[in-house]
Amino acid sequence: MATKLNKRSVVIVGGGLTAALVARQLTAKGTDVLVLERGVDRRKAAEAKIPNQRDELRWDIRGGLGQDWAVETYTVRHSRNEDALPARRLGAFLPGEGLGGAASHWNGFTWRWSEYDPTLRTRFETRYGKSAIPADLLIQDWGVTYAEMEPHHHLFEKLFGISGKAGNINGKIQSGGNPFEAPRRDDYPQPPVQPTEAGLIFKGACEKLGYKPFIAPSGNSSGTYTNPDGMKLGQCQYCGHCERFICEAQAKATPDALLYPVLFQRKNFEIRLQCRVLGVDYDREAKRVLGVRYVDLITGEEYEQPADVVVLAAFTMSNTRFLLMGGIGAPYNPATGEGVVGKNFCIRPIRRSISSSGIAGSIRSSPAAAPASASTNSTTTISIIPVSDSLAAAESVPISRTGVPSAVGACRRGRRVGARNGRKRMPPGTPTRSRSKFKARAIRIARTISISIRSTMTSMVSRWCASPSIGATTI
């Protein structure tokens, strides 16, 4: 039998990045906030200190800082006719666990949305006509504009001491930055991080091809920094143990380093660690949430925690599950297209755009489909944006059937094409018509190889030389 606790004003499920940002705003206004987090606080634990911090097997290969798939997982099916089975190993989809959630060990790439991302449907329709968007494409405007979101991007960047070089300040293109970025009110709070050797090679190669490389904005501190809340970051040591690791140098902008310490000082904030929320109680008639039920993982005791407001901040997949299990909102039905809960949920779909002037790109995060419901807020796309920014995205094709990028696959594809090309080399003296056909084919092949090399390089740069998020982009 669960013990019923006293009612709280706001209960937040999950103690990651979203929860910390929400709690920061609410507690500043005097609102009482309780966070329930299933994991622990690792800030002073061995995983945050040398030598254990460098344990690649434990933190990187085995993903030791994230959700333990042996204990709790999601089920997966590839079509509605299949039985859903538990996933025990998930590539890029790595929900976090513990104070700070996934962002406690994230990489730190911090892109803003493009100006047209929140109004993509309108933009395509205006440019190409309504019929250009197929009926089954779920793209839609978000209901907010970039201009409305800009102050929030600005605040986040100041709080997280983002290192970068602006490409567009109030509409004026800045040299050395991303010329396609949305207008910003000022430069990043810190200069960009230093490129590593691989980053410099990448930069040189891009410049030779006529592109404009720039250093990606990142939450890896290029210097020492104090944020508006008085929280400090040290300088990045370029240790290379960044993504999937806790930064032992206090140089990575994370919620546990920058947001929670401030919250802990506030009397109207409480966090209960090692408390797993089991479900949200919902009064269907009154259409009101009553509170949550959770189990204390140390004692095994179950509790009912009433609340005026419940904020789901347990990461998109779990938030959607809580809504579905609680009978809150209309579940999305892919057969009829009705309902919103669970609609458009996706992680890192890839689109590849080819412009008439060839392929070039800034690899960046952007929303592929507009959020239609609470379950879509983390939709992330890596796009290759054409040089001319000509919105060739309308011609986008997925890189792989599953939509999952593979640098290795891309590389292999390039080699195979190259080998075929070698076998069919035209001997000197071949008639011109065949030569021009051959030339056209050679150009196609070269383009394919170019995509392959570029996507491989980008992956390599972002993964290997840019552990502290260095220079992964070209335009």
Ligand X SMILES: Cc1cc2nc3c(=O)[nH]c(=O)nc-3n(C[C@H](O)[C@H](O)[C@H](O)COP(=O)(O)OP(=O)(O)OC[C@H]3O[C@@H](n4cnc5c(N)ncnc54)[C@H](O)[C@@H]3O)c2cc1C
x/- letters, 218..247, toward ligand X (CB under 6 A): -------------------------xx---
Shorter beta-carbon distance to ligand X: residue 63 or 386: 63
The binder of 13, among ligand X, ligand SF4, none, by C-beta within 5 to 8 A per type, is ligand X
Which position among 8, 12, 15, 180 is part of the footprint of ligand X (CB under 6 A)? 15
CB contact at 8 A, 36 and 275 = yes
Report which DSSP code applies to 388: T
Q: Which amino acid is at 37?
A: E
For the stretch 76-107, what's the b/e string if a residue is b when 16 or more beta carbons lie within 10 angstroms of its beta carbon?
eeeeeeeeeeeeeebeeebbbbbbbbbbbbbb
The binder of 109, among ligand X, ligand SF4, none, by C-beta within 5 to 8 A per type, is ligand X
Shorter beta-carbon distance to ligand SF4: residue 242 or 370: 242
Q: How many CB atoms lie within 10 A of CB 284?
A: 9
Indicate whether 162 belongs to the interface with ligand X (CB under 6 A).
Answer: no
Q: CA 158 to CA 231: how far, in whole Å?
A: 11
From the list 188, 176, 184, the residue with the least C-alpha distance to 212 is 176
CB of 122 to ligand SF4, least distance (A): 38
From the list 288, 264, 268, 289, the residue with the least C-alpha distance to 279 is 289
Which position among 8, 42, 43, 105 is part of the footprint of ligand X (CB under 6 A)? 105
Indicate whether 101 belongs to the interface with ligand X (CB under 6 A).
Answer: yes
Helix (H, G, I), strand (E, B) or coil at 315: coil
Q: CA 237 to CA 220: how far, in whole Å?
A: 10
Which position among 41, 47, 97, 181 is part of the footprint of ligand X (CB under 6 A)? 97
CB of 235 to ligand SF4, least distance (A): 8
x/- letters, 351..380, toward ligand X (CB under 6 A): --------------x------------x--
Which position among 11, 23, 32, 39 is part of the footprint of ligand X (CB under 6 A)? 39
Q: CA 103 to CA 62: how far, in whole Å?
A: 17
CB of 10 to ligand X, least distance (A): 15
Largest CA distance in the chain: 89
Write down the residue that tokens 């789901």 correspond to: 312
The binder of 252, among ligand X, ligand SF4, none, by C-beta within 5 to 8 A per type, is ligand SF4
Please, which residues have CB within 8 angstroms of residue 287's CB and are 6 or more apart in sequence?
A: none
Residues that bind ligand SF4 (CB under 6 A): 220, 236-239, 241-242, 245, 247, 249, 251-252, 467-468
Shorter beta-carbon distance to ligand SF4: residue 118 or 468: 468
User: Of 128-136, 170-178, 308-316, 436-444, which segment contacts ligand X by CB under 6 A?
Assistant: 308-316
Shorter beta-carbon distance to ligand X: residue 21 or 173: 21
The binder of 213, among ligand X, ligand SF4, none, by C-beta within 5 to 8 A per type, is none
Helix (H, G, I), strand (E, B) or coil at 183: coil
Which position among 16, 195, 291, 471 is part of the footprint of ligand X (CB under 6 A)? 16
Supply the angle between the helices 432-460 and 407-423 in degrees, to the nearest 10.
160
CB of 61 to ligand X, least distance (A): 12
Strands (E) in 158-265, as ranges, are 168-169, 172-173, 225-226, 232-233
Write down the residue that tokens 């491989």 correspond to: 456
The residues of the shown chain that bind ligand X, judged by CB under 6 A, are 13-19, 36-39, 66, 94-98, 101-103, 105-109, 243-244, 276-277, 313-315, 318, 365, 378
